[in-house]
Amino acid sequence: MYSTPYHTTDLSNQKILITGGAGFIGSHLVEYLLKYGAIVRVIDNFITGRRENIDLFKNNPRFEFIEGDICNKADCDRACDGINVLLHQAALGSVPRSIKDPVATNRINVDGFLTIMVAARDAGIQRVVYASSSSVYGDHPGLPKVEDKIGKQLSPYAVSKYTNELYAHVFGLNYGMKIIGLRYFNIFGPRQDPNGQYAAVIPKWIDMLKKNERPIINGDGSNTRDFTFVENAVQANIKAMTTENENAFGQIYNIACGYQFSLMDLFNGLKEILGSSVMPVHGSSREGDIAQSLADINKAKKLLGYDPAFAFKDGLKITVTQY
């Protein structure tokens, strides 16, 4: 992966901190940045990150790992020391998990975000790119989703991500930091954990189909998502951290492909790739879920030069191969 660079500047003098770098998206950012010569530091506490994800890089002299918590100011201060760019990926994901435990979601996603942002400010870090979520759109009925039109959030997870966006705005306003937010739309790809109660749908279904087990589809399968291969998310982060377009800062961008696929489309696509004849089980709809999701990505294209290189089905094939 990453045979095509998404940057034009020299990264060899850049010292980049990735929070949650042992996680799914974070570890792909580490891989890209090390490949192109950056110095990369990761902070992670392994609540959802995995040690095997960073074991891939432990012998690289330009890689440093700190086992720490973004809710701990001392850990954040240590992690931010000497850093040029912060890529904030650390979060407690999953809408259902946030409904079950809103306190944990708020502590990590809101308190942790604020703590790392204060540490970044104190360390003089000017450039910050952070992960937001399409869940912020809530009950707004409009399709495709446009950045400045959101509804009421439907879960504690969505509230936490919207709170990140509000804090990012005031940090940029009051401290002169160049901050960019990326609203991810259902990112998937290699290294996404298929295990556990809150596993994402694509790795979970791949795992089950390979075992000839019947996946549960929440609802009738008509819910749609703008499924986005992880390398597209990496591209967006790299474009955001290297852009010199002054109009790009202080903004939030949809990061997706601009196409919607239903859960049944996803299921049938995986069946075809895996050559499976397994049929799904239909369960009840999930609390806090957005029924229809489709992104307008024109803002990211215009201001960041974002151009998703991997279509949904291409990403699925790569993901299945990697698993």
Q: What DSSP assignment string belongs to 17-68? A: EEETTTSHHHHHHHHHHHHTT-EEEEEE-SSS--HHHHHTTTT-TTEEEEE-
Cα distance between residue 139 and residue 288, in whole Å: 10
Residue at 96 is within a domain? yes
Q: Which of 157, 162, 184, 253 is catalytic?
A: 157
Structure tokens at 37: 């010569």
- pLDDT attached to residue 4: 85
What phi and psi values does residue 242 have, to the nearest 5 degrees?
A: -110, -5
Rounded to an integer, what distance in angstroms lies between the CA atom of residue 64 and that of residue 42? 6
Q: Is residue 156 part of a domain?
A: yes
In a domain, 212, yes or no: no
Q: What is the CATH number of the domain that holds 116?
A: 3.40.50.720
Would you say 120 and 23 are in contact if contact means Cβ atoms under 8 Å apart?
no
Query: Does 32 qualify as catalytic in the annotation?
Result: no
The pLDDT value given to residue 278: 94
Dist. CA 97–CA 103, nearest whole Å: 10
Whether 214 is in a domain gets the answer: no
Cα angle: 152, vertex 154, 158; to 5 degrees: 90
Asked if the structure places residue 252 within a domain, the reply is yes
pTM of the model: 0.96
Give the H or E element holding residue 131: strand 127-133
Cis bond before residue 144 (omega within 30° of 0): yes
Task: Tell me which residue of 43, 31, 36 sits closest to 73, measured CA to CA.
Answer: 43
CA separation for the pair 264, 246 (Å, rounded) = 42
Please tell me the total count of domains within the chain. Answer: 1
Per-residue model confidence (pLDDT) at position 294: 96
Q: Give the tens place of pLDDT for each residue, 4-48.
A: 899 999 999 999 999 999 999 999 999 999 999 999 999 999 999
Q: Nearest Cα to 230, choosing from 273, 269, 193?
A: 193
Q: Is residue 284 part of a domain?
A: no
Phi–psi pair at 260, nearest 5 degrees: -115, 140
**Which domain range does residue 101 map to?**
15-188+229-258+295-309
Contacts for 52 with CB less than 8 Å, ≥ 6 apart: none
- State the sign of the Cα–Cα–Cα–Cα dihedral 227, 229, 230, 234: negative
Q: Which of 82, 66, 250 is nearest to 171 (CA)?
A: 250
pLDDT score, position 199: 73
Looking from the CA of 309 toward its CB, the CA atoms found within 13 Å total 14
**Helix (H, G, I), strand (E, B), or coil: what is residue 283?**
strand
Decide if 131 is inside a domain.
yes
In tens digits, the chain (323 residues) has pLDDT values of 778 899 999 999 999 999 999 999 999 999 999 999 999 999 999 999 999 999 999 999 999 999 999 999 999 999 999 999 999 999 999 999 999 999 999 999 999 999 999 999 999 999 999 999 999 999 999 999 999 999 999 999 999 999 999 999 999 999 999 999 999 999 999 999 888 777 789 999 999 999 999 999 988 999 999 999 999 999 999 999 999 999 999 999 999 999 999 999 999 999 999 999 999 999 888 777 778 999 999 999 999 999 999 999 999 999 999 87
Is residue 126 included in any domain, yes or no?
Answer: yes
